[in-house]
Structure 1
Amino acid sequence: MERLASVGLLRCLDVALVLLVGAGLVFDPLALSHAIAVVLVIQAFLLEPRAAAVRLGLAAVATVAAVGIHSVPVRDAAIQIPFVYGLAALVVLLARSLSRSRATAVAALRDAERLALYDTLTDLPNRVLFNDRIAQALAAARRDATSVALLLMDLDRFKEVNDTFGHHVGDLLLQEVGPHLRSELRPSDTLARLGGDEFGVVLPGADAAVAAVVAERMLRAVERPFVVEGQPLTVGASIGIACSPEHAQDAETLLRRADVAMYVAKRAPGTYAAYADDQDEGGADRLALMADLAAALEGDELFVHYQPQLDVATGRIRAVEALLRWRHPKRGMLAPSEFIPLAERSALITRLTERVVRTAVRDARTWRDGGDELRVAVNISTRNLLDTRLVDCVREVLAGEGVPAECLVLEITESALMADQDRAVATIAGLRELGVGISIDDYGTGYSSIAYLRRLGADEVKIDRSFVAAMRTDANAEAIVRATLDLARVLGFSVVAEGVEDVATWDRLRALRVDRVQGYAIARPMEASSVIPWLRERSEVPVAV
């Protein structure tokens, strides 16, 4: 309504200005000079600067023409009045133009700031603003002697939604999650999207008890069905909680410990977990080792050795397992068990796994070029299996090295499968579609049935070394090995026995007709350059070393 009234007023002023200028040309311009100038000034205030400037120019030309027609001296005080008013109108126009330029600049700055601080998909604060809110909350807590709670939440089964309905539906689902969560929070709390399907919440003034209540409400909010494009979708979430000053007093440590707690929660999807010291043992020493690992990824301290797997029926070596090693400049040689758990608690595990897969595939290509077609097995962690980028990473590595997918086997532990079964199934399906082999490592230590593993798409199980090592002295251990072999044959699995340390164990496994064996009785892990020479020199009968 206000805009329509303004337009109507401007049209009336235009008509008045035309009539006044016309009258000035016909009659005495001095009598109408005040009226013309007043109309110009009003229009200068109401119109866009460019339109007002055009009218000012036309009125000025008309006024000068009227002066010429009536031969009025310009020095006459009366004729100067329109020019004074015209000058005033010009000043108004310049001021409005500058004001508009400033407003445009401010709007552009505001837009740039929003792009830098807010997630474009969900319109929630992004990680940058989230970190700033954490810092502000911690500063206020120190000043007021209060607490702060930090919650990190990861959606369960989100990749399944993407794979089934497409990324468009996944994006719409993420847009729906924000309002569901926001309704469970106070106005003073910060809800942010940190990337992918991960969200973060800052609760100023909240302790662990309050954070637990909020986490419960958030889980219930996410568990309620979402309706996206008429399609009901059900997801869940896992939440990690860390509080200050109880768990940390700086933002970086608080974030890391909330992340640790979240991955503890993911072992039982749909739950939350508060940080505890026993989840993150070692303190400063582990933090220092993690920093060293990050530096090692940029250098040559990390390397891969390979342990052959012997085909029992033929006596030939058809596969090797890639085993990561770290030659630390101060701590000496480190086994994977000393640094892989640290990497799994950060983004380092993604880079570490990609490096091992790339190295193993590259070495497999070198062996193939020389006429030796060896499959290479690489261990992946729980976090790798739940990472939506794993399939794309493997695809890119295989294509880049020009190696067939069937040359690569990824070994997954039973515990990794149980951490988030829906997401694990989706990832394994993507890997199987590529043609990559799936092996279940440490079989027998978890709770999954071999029939369930078959439904997952796995095609190989590796009997845990603890059962293999105990076979000679423990009848129960041998019974487990025998039962696994019998069921695997029925379901079409191949079975690998790892941890074969002596010839007696090897003889027993050969009598049981296991498919492949791996251990010191066959060969110790060796460098890539030593694999082919060893193959050329070895005899068909394994010798304990």
Structure 2
Amino acid sequence: MYRNSFRLTNREIDEAFATRQFRLVFQPKIDLARRTLAGVESFARWQHPQFGVIPPALFLPVLARQGRNQELTRFVLSEAVAQLVRWRASGETATVSINVAPEELADGSLPVSIRLALNAADLDPSRLIVDLPESGLAAEPDRARDTIHALSEIGIGLALECAQEPLIDFTNTDTATLDPTAFQEFKIGGRAIIQFASRIEGTGLGLMRSRLEYATSNQMKTTAVGAETADTVSLLPSLGFEQAQGNAISSPLTPQALLDFDASTAMESLLGHAAQDASQKVQLEEFAPPKADVSDKKSRIQVVRGNAKVELMTQGKTGGQTHVIKLPDPASVTAGKQRDEQTGVPKLSFFTRLQTRFSRTFQA
């Protein structure tokens, strides 16, 4: 209902730019091997006086339909450069990435705007990275090639951002059309990261693998975008990724909050929890069934995780008996990370208590 009734007019957009209702937030990008901050990616947010913070999924399509993507890009560029200048004064050396709309790869004014902004701030061009969408390269390859060449001459970093659905066969593309040496970074993100990370032990990575190999063979840094779970982040290096960003590591932060972000601490906490969760996964084969005369009885173990209970059943020739053990609420899993306030002894985790109750039932 909210989406259907939501309307933004050109007048409101004019006012938003004029009164600086748009602002930038920055999502950390992490070097997975060193667990250090490799850079940040900037995202626009709209603080509307009536609607509050408008999600990008609502206002970006509006700007696109009204042909105002270029205005937003120029605003983001200006704010990103201003942030880099502030960080330079404080000794911060992180790079900042900005996104451009697909149609801007056919816009000859983009390189001019970037060059002017960097020159005005007397800023090292390598501190700025521009993410170029695959869809823009596929739509108008000739004009995109000219824009990429002009951007490369400025000395900024260029990242090739893959589309959710493949539009370009990078391995079979003529280098005269798409020169891989122009790019320093190769970004793959969204649901594909989750899907392929979960299939690491499956039948292979197909397109994902070929694209990662393409990036590596052309000396591009490989970055996973949209890593939303600790398990995914922990698998990324084995997939072939060198860098990662996503809400599992950190949501986009204000410039002030970013000053307090510590990459090493964030990764240690994230991967520590992932390892703990992995060690606590229920593996039924770890539990031996009750000792019984196989000619006379059959045993079954059923774990109903949603209701936090375990059903143990032994069945003989003349009938069966069912034992139901009700366990504490699943929320008490967090107790495994706590210590008794008086003794200092670690409290048993949920799964430790689960195993204990199995053992006691079998011995009864």
TM-score interval for Structure 1 and Structure 2 normalised by the shorter chain: 0.5 to 0.7
3-state secondary structure, aligned to 1:447: coil
3-state secondary structure, aligned to 1:534: coil
Q: Are residues 1:441 and 2:166 paired? A: no
- Whether the 8 Å CA contact 2:134–2:168 is kept in 1: the answer is yes
Question: Which residue type is aligned with residue 500 of structure 1?
Answer: A
- Whether the 8 Å CA contact 1:425–1:456 is kept in 2: the answer is no
- Whether the 8 Å CA contact 1:294–1:348 is kept in 2: the answer is no
**Aligned with 1:384 (options 104, 108, 131):** 104
Greater Rg by CA: 1
Q: Quote the offset at 1:535 in angstroms.
A: 3.1
**Aligned with 1:469 (options 194, 201, 226):** 194
Q: Are residues 1:484 and 2:211 paired? A: yes
Q: Quote the offset at 1:486 in angstroms.
A: 2.3
- Whether the 8 Å CA contact 1:407–1:436 is kept in 2: the answer is yes
**Aligned with 1:457 (options 179, 182, 207):** 182
Aligned-residue sequence identity (percent) comes to: 24
Output the CA distance in 2 between the equivalents of 1:539 and 1:519. Answer: 12
Which residue of structure 2 aligns with residue 335 of structure 1? 55
Output the CA distance in 1 between the equivalents of 2:108 and 2:12. Answer: 27
- Whether the 8 Å CA contact 1:521–1:543 is kept in 2: the answer is yes
Q: Are residues 1:298 and 2:18 paired? A: yes
Alpha-carbon distance change, 537 to 495 in structure 1, aligned in 2, over 3 angstroms: closer
Q: Quote the offset at 1:328 in angstroms.
A: 1.8
Question: Which residue type is aligned with residue 249 of structure 2?
Answer: I
Question: Which residue type is aligned with residue 188 of structure 2?
Answer: I
Equivalent residues in 2 for 1:14-53, closer than 5 Å: none
Note the aligned Cα RMSD (angstroms).
2.6
Q: Quote the offset at 1:537 in angstroms.
A: 8.3
Equivalent residues in 2 for 1:86-235, closer than 5 Å: none
Equivalent residues in 2 for 1:236-275, closer than 5 Å: none
Q: Quote the offset at 1:528 in angstroms.
A: 1.1
- Whether the 8 Å CA contact 1:367–1:532 is kept in 2: the answer is no
Q: Are residues 1:498 and 2:218 paired? A: no
* 1:507-528 deviation per Cα after TM superposition (whole angstroms, max 9, x unaligned): 1112234110001121111001
3-state secondary structure, aligned to 2:74: helix
Q: Quote the offset at 1:463 in angstroms.
A: 0.7
Question: Which residue type is aligned with residue 464 of structure 1?
Answer: G
- Whether the 8 Å CA contact 1:312–1:517 is kept in 2: the answer is yes
Q: Are residues 1:411 and 2:138 paired? A: no
Which residue of structure 1 aligns with residue 151 of structure 2? 431
**Aligned with 2:73 (options 344, 353, 370):** 353
More helix by share: 1
Output the CA distance in 2 between the equivalents of 1:391 and 1:365. Answer: 20
- Whether the 8 Å CA contact 1:468–1:477 is kept in 2: the answer is no
* 1:10-30 deviation per Cα after TM superposition (whole angstroms, max 9, x unaligned): xxxxxxxxxxxxxxxxxxxxx
Question: Which residue type is aligned with residue 466 of structure 1?
Answer: R
Alpha-carbon distance change, 387 to 472 in structure 1, aligned in 2, over 3 angstroms: closer
Unaligned stretches of 5+ in structure 2?
A: 274-364
Which residue of structure 2 aligns with residue 319 of structure 1? 39
Question: Which residue type is aligned with residue 440 of structure 1?
Answer: L
Output the CA distance in 2 between the equivalents of 1:437 and 1:476. Answer: 35
Question: Which residue type is aligned with residue 461 of structure 1?
Answer: F
Question: Which residue type is aligned with residue 254 of structure 2?
Answer: E
- Whether the 8 Å CA contact 1:467–1:477 is kept in 2: the answer is no
- Whether the 8 Å CA contact 2:125–2:154 is kept in 1: the answer is yes
3-state secondary structure, aligned to 1:521: coil
* 1:330-351 deviation per Cα after TM superposition (whole angstroms, max 9, x unaligned): 2332222322233234453222
Q: Are residues 1:519 and 2:239 paired? A: no
3-state secondary structure, aligned to 2:126: helix
- Whether the 8 Å CA contact 1:471–1:505 is kept in 2: the answer is no
Alpha-carbon distance change, 499 to 446 in structure 1, aligned in 2, over 3 angstroms: same
Unaligned stretches of 5+ in structure 1?
A: 1-281
Which residue of structure 2 aligns with residue 289 of structure 1? 9
Which residue of structure 1 aligns with residue 120 of structure 2? 400
Alpha-carbon distance change, 283 to 482 in structure 1, aligned in 2, over 3 angstroms: closer
* 1:243-269 deviation per Cα after TM superposition (whole angstroms, max 9, x unaligned): xxxxxxxxxxxxxxxxxxxxxxxxxxx
* 1:166-188 deviation per Cα after TM superposition (whole angstroms, max 9, x unaligned): xxxxxxxxxxxxxxxxxxxxxxx
Output the CA distance in 2 between the equivalents of 1:515 and 1:536. Answer: 15
Output the CA distance in 1 between the equivalents of 2:204 and 2:82. Answer: 38
* 1:407-429 deviation per Cα after TM superposition (whole angstroms, max 9, x unaligned): 11111211111221111111111
Which residue of structure 2 aligns with residue 59 of structure 1? none
Question: Which residue type is aligned with residue 86 of structure 2?
Answer: T
- Whether the 8 Å CA contact 2:225–2:246 is kept in 1: the answer is yes
Q: Quote the offset at 1:456 in angstroms.
A: 7.5
Structure 1-normalised TM-score?
0.45
Structure 2-normalised TM-score?
0.66
Whose relative contact order is higher, 1 or 2, with alpha carbons under 8 Å and at least 6 apart? Answer: 2
